Amino acid sequence: MSISMRVLRCMPSVVLRRNACRRSLSSSTSLWHKVDIKNGPGLQHFIANSVSPSTQQEIDTSEVDIPYIDNVSGDGQKVYFDVYGCQMNVNDTEVVWSILQAKGYEKTDEVLLADVILVVTCAIREGAETKVWNQLRNYRGLKKKRNRDKPPLRIGVLGCMAERLKEQLIEKERSVDIVAGPDSYRDLPRLLALSRDRHTAVNVMLSHDETYADVMPVRLDQNSKTAYVTIMRGCDNMCTYCIVPFTRGRERSRPISSIVDEIRYLSQQGIKEVTLLGQNVNSYRDLSEQQHFVAADTNLAKGFKTVYKSKKGGRRFADLLDRVASIDPEMRIRFTSPHPKDFPDEVLEVIRERANVCKHLHLPAQSGCSSVLERMRRGYTREAYIDLVQHIREMVPRVSICSDFICGFCGESEEDFKETITLMRTVVYNWMFIFMYSLREKTTAHRRLKDDVPDEEKRRRIEIMHQTLRMITEQTNKTQLGTRQLILVEGASKRSRQVLAGRNEANIKVNFPAGLLPMSPDSQERRPVEPGDYVVVEVGFLSLLYLILF
């Protein structure tokens, strides 16, 4: 189905961000005016195992004082970032870039100009890792072709795969010079300095308290009007299929004051949308603000349970969200992901009351079958999840909900799978991210369960899920006809410069014809709509002809 939008009103200085949703809507221009949205380490020393006998040498820096690494300056060396995985990896790369920039490194978007290639990796599924192995082979080729007049090209593997596969990375892929896990980015200048002398430098130590709270990330895309802000790291949930608790370690929260400072700075820089990131934002706790604690200490409602002991006291996510939302009423706030098992009403109240907090939730279900959910150790039943969705919709009318699902998990029968399909239809999600189960070593599922759904069957099931998704989104698109929506403009659409693209509150991409805006609310002069503007559009029918024309 095609849908068109008619631009009704526009606000010069307000906007939003892009994300993983891939649906798009389209539109045509008419009248503009102002929209009121007011209510709107210490270094962790460790390791350095190493490598090849001839050119490389084993260094253990944990106990020895090595004077020559005092010089950790980048001296203008160029770094190329190749980033995989989730939004948190993007934001981690911005932390890494901040740390390296401060040491005199430069960034290049041209891989052939790089002195150092840093691959920021993901380990969530086998496919994510395969991509990185393939790319490392390409980079090995670049290394060999490197002009001999220049210092050797160095390759660093960072992030979740580095944490999971440290030994293999060094043994199997000999071109790798640096291996750094998600909690050792402060150590990168030193690791890079070590690698300059042809040592393989490794730091994969996980931390209980590293949040990079004092590092102001430097955004990779300086033109973007949207930003990610990591509010916590690690995960204690231990879902049986998931590698994240092993690659990112224990859950810890960044203090509210540091998050608020960063968002204030982003607002001053003209950022119009911020997405708060954490593996389970609902268990956020700023324990440094104990004395102000007001909210109830546990939110576990009937039908929900948790495997770990909830933290006590401190400021919680609802407090953080409220503080962040009050910084700039023209800045849209999103967050991902809340875990269904501890969804407090306080958070829903803030979403409802604050106009600039998007009425949109990513609420990963993973499966619609209670016995599968039990084996996944998700901490809720199908019924409890459905009750929660109903409660959310009562408290926040018109909220849009999206989800993650896994098909083919250990022991998932045809009947179990059908329950997932019926859950998808019952909830009527605005969007879903759907994955085939991928066995991960170390996880409980790897140790205790059997990956017994054949690949072919997983593929059949995922296809049925995609068909269901298409059917549901067609249905939800239809319900939007005639509605007026606030769109944060991102820039030209992929189709044409005459067609602009932006995101609505539900994070769905919307295309609409380029138009003009008043220079100021009272001005007769006009200027083109720009990234960072908010426009209000009315969703209407759009013929295929329109799509062809543009």
Q: Which of 175, 226, 279, 381 binds ligand SF4 (CB under 6 A)?
A: 279
Tokens of 438: 């991928």
By CB under 6 A, the residues from 229 to 268 that bind ligand SF4 are 235, 237-239, 242, 244-245
Residue indicated by tokens 């426009």? 535
Residue 324, judged by CB atoms within 10 A of its CB (0-12, 13-18, 19+), counts as buried
Instruction: Choose from ligand SF4, ligand SAH, ligand F3S, none: what does 230 bind? Cβ within 5-8 Å by kind.
Output: none
Whichever of 25 and 436 has its CB closer to ligand F3S, that residue is 436
Residue pair 506/471 in contact by the 8 Å Cβ criterion: no
Shortest gap between Cβ of 420 and ligand SAH (angstroms)? 12
Instruction: Choose from ligand SAH, ligand F3S, ligand SF4, none: what does 89 bind? Cβ within 5-8 Å by kind.
Output: ligand F3S
Report the candidate in 390, 376, 318 with the shortest Cα–Cα distance to residue 349.
Answer: 318
Tokens of 145: 């072709």
Shortest gap between Cβ of 394 and ligand SF4 (angstroms)? 25
CA distance 243 to 14: 38
252 belongs to the binding site for ligand SAH (CB under 6 A): no
Binding mask 284-303 for ligand SAH (x = CB under 6 A): --------------------
Shortest gap between Cβ of 183 and ligand F3S (angstroms)? 12
Catalogue the E-assigned strands of 349-483: 360-362, 400-407, 431-436
By CB under 6 A, the residues from 207 to 246 that bind ligand SAH are 241-242, 244
Instruction: Determine the 3-state secondary structure of 280 from DSSP.
Output: coil
Shortest gap between Cβ of 31 and ligand SAH (angstroms)? 41
Q: Which of 406, 423, 487, 542 binds ligand SAH (CB under 6 A)?
A: 406
Shortest gap between Cβ of 238 and ligand F3S (angstroms)? 14
Shortest gap between Cβ of 245 and ligand SF4 (angstroms)? 5
Instruction: Choose from ligand SAH, ligand SF4, ligand F3S, none: what does 85 bind? Cβ within 5-8 Å by kind.
Output: ligand F3S
CA distance 487 to 273: 12
Q: Which of 404, 451, 457, 530 binds ligand SAH (CB under 6 A)?
A: 404
Chain centroid offset of residue 347 CA:
20
Relative to beta strand 201-203, strand 176-180 is parallel
Instruction: Choose from ligand SF4, ligand F3S, ligand SAH, none: what does 194 bind? Cβ within 5-8 Å by kind.
Output: none
CA distances from 543 to 12, 73, 483 (A): 29, 58, 18
Report the candidate in 387, 403, 320 with the shortest Cα–Cα distance to residue 354.
Answer: 320
Whichever of 159 and 379 has its CB closer to ligand F3S, that residue is 159
Helix intervals (H) in 107-216:
126-145, 160-164, 166-172, 188-196
253 belongs to the binding site for ligand SAH (CB under 6 A): no
Tokens of 303: 């039908």
CA distance 503 to 19: 9
CA distance 520 to 25: 28
Instruction: Choose from ligand F3S, ligand SF4, ligand SAH, none: what does 437 bind? Cβ within 5-8 Å by kind.
Output: ligand SAH
CA distance 160 to 246: 9
Q: Which of 255, 314, 364, 531 binds ligand SAH (CB under 6 A)?
A: 364
Tokens of 137: 């082979």
Whichever of 180 and 392 has its CB closer to ligand F3S, that residue is 180
CA distance 316 to 306: 17
Whichever of 226 and 336 has its CB closer to ligand F3S, that residue is 336
337 belongs to the binding site for ligand SAH (CB under 6 A): yes
Binding mask 489-528 for ligand SF4 (x = CB under 6 A): ----------------------------------------
Shortest gap between Cβ of 161 and ligand F3S (angstroms)? 8
Binding site for ligand F3S (CB under 6 A): 85-86, 88-89, 122-124, 159-160, 243-244, 247-248
285 C-beta neighbours (distance < 10 Å), count: 23
Instruction: Determine the 3-state secondary structure of 291 from DSSP.
Output: helix
Q: Which of 280, 283, 430, 485 binds ligand SF4 (CB under 6 A)?
A: 280
Q: Which residues contact 140 (CB under 8 A, 6 or more apart)?
A: 155, 173, 174, 175
Interacting residues with ligand SF4 (CB under 6 A): 235, 237-239, 242, 244-245, 279-280, 339
Interacting residues with ligand SAH (CB under 6 A): 124-125, 241-242, 244, 279-280, 337, 339, 364, 366, 404, 406, 435, 437-438, 440
